[in-house]
Structure 1
Amino acid sequence: MTNRAILVIDLQNDYFPDGKLPLVGIEDAAANAARVIAAARTRADAVIHVRHEAIPADAPFFVAGSEGAEIHRSVLPIRDEPVVVKNYPNAFRETNLRELLSQQRTKELVIVGAMSHMCIDAATRAAADLGFKVTVVHDACATRDLEFADRKVSAVDVHGAFMAALAAYASLTTTENWLG
């Protein structure tokens, strides 16, 4: 086992085309994430899956126990890969993630998943604050269109703005570059 872990954040059914909150580019992002995961497994990197469960039970998506809250089939955990269940955008908040990484002597995190402007942003900043070396594989992340000041902000612009901001906290790379 290396001192690197891949964090697979919120690649769950509700974010895919038949889900309750489909994201722009989610299928391509998940395919890239699957390639990162496959390479990590052959390199003996840890793979940790993070799954969001919404609070309260009448939330619009990721309802605990629902099919939409399940990890998407393209990135399912295998063998003893841990699944960290979270209730907030920050994967470290009120979870065992930090303890798990400490037990594995993890120093470096590679982050893939969704949504770029929420959970990827929150986890990346928190990980950097905790002293981890962080890499975000930006084409293995996805988000959605947003609205601000009565105008639509496209998912491409949301993703680009958040990745640009995260460059202060993490290395940003593509799947191809990360695979080497």
Structure 2
Amino acid sequence: MTRLLVIVDIQNDYFPGGAYPLVGPEAAAERAGALLAHFRASGAPIVHVQHVWDAPDATFMRPGTYGVEINDAVAPLADEPVVLKASPNSFLGTDLEHRIRDAAVGDVVIVGMMTSMCVDSTVRAAADLGFAVTVAADACAAPDLEFGDTLIPGDVVHAAFLAALGGSFATVTTVDDLTQHATADA
């Protein structure tokens, strides 16, 4: 099966020292980097997505900052497209849908940050557009969240969102499973 990799918002602001650090971004970026290397080696299509929050009240992903830059673990090569977005849904106001349709792939593999926001929104939109979607769970990361007086740890946020996505919107698996199956299928 031909696959296309979409890397959503693995940007420096989500790492320690950034404006909005997540739980476990280094490990997620390392796994995403391994998957990216696999896609590059196989010649499969890749699309990078970069969130740019160009508003006076933006607290992170601000244009012209180090934080908005795509992290080195998954930095795009010169010939790999980068889709700029301004909302959680990577399809909204972008040409991502056309890029995927033009690639004529059977499966869209999505990884990135934040599991609970942009990854979730992008996966649901992709499914709504009729794409078969796979999420590499270990190549995504989420923040700690609060609801009322309750602190929800980032690993629990991550697991809850992946559980919901796996129920109806995507196949949820791991980078190793994706790369081993691709090798076995070749």
TM-score bucket of the superposed structures, by smaller chain: over 0.9
**Aligned positions, number:** 179
> Does the alignment pair 1:166 with 2:170?
no
Q: Residue type matched to 2:173 in 1? A: T
Q: What corresponds to 1:128 in structure 2?
A: 127
Return the alpha-carbon distance in structure 1 between the equivalents of residues 111 and 42 of structure 2. 17
Structure 1 runs, 4 residues or longer, greater than 3 Å off: none
Return the alpha-carbon distance in structure 2 between the equivalents of residues 152 and 16 of structure 1. 20
Q: What corresponds to 2:25 in structure 1?
A: 26
| 1:87-126 alignment runs, 5 A limit | 87-126=86-125
Q: What corresponds to 1:10 in structure 2?
A: 9
Task: Report deviation, 1:42.
Answer: 1.1
Give ranges in structure 2 of 5+ residues lacking alignment: 181-186
The structure where helix makes up a greater share of residues is 2
Q: Between 100-109 and 160-169, report the one with greater CA deviation.
A: 100-109
Return the alpha-carbon distance in structure 1 between the equivalents of residues 129 and 89 of structure 2. 12
Q: CA RMSD in A?
A: 1.1
Q: What corresponds to 2:178 in structure 1?
A: 178
Listed one character per residue, the Cα deviations across residues 20-62 of structure 1 (whole Å, up to 9, x for unaligned) are: 1111000000000000000011111111100000131330000
Return the alpha-carbon distance in structure 2 between the equivalents of residues 41 and 131 of structure 1. 25
Return the alpha-carbon distance in structure 1 between the equivalents of residues 3 and 56 of structure 2. 35
**Residue 161 of structure 1 aligns to a residue in which SS?**
helix
Q: 1:73 to 1:57 in 2, by over 3 A?
A: farther
Listed one character per residue, the Cα deviations across residues 117-146 of structure 1 (whole Å, up to 9, x for unaligned) are: 000100000001111110000010001100
Identity among equivalent pairs (%)? 45
**Residue 92 of structure 2 aligns to a residue in which SS?**
coil
TM-score, scaled relative to structure 2: 0.93
> Does the alignment pair 1:63 with 2:62?
yes
Q: Residue type matched to 2:51 in 1? A: H
Task: Report deviation, 1:72.
Answer: 0.5
Give ranges in structure 1 of 5+ residues lacking alignment: none
Return the alpha-carbon distance in structure 1 between the equivalents of residues 56 and 70 of structure 2. 18
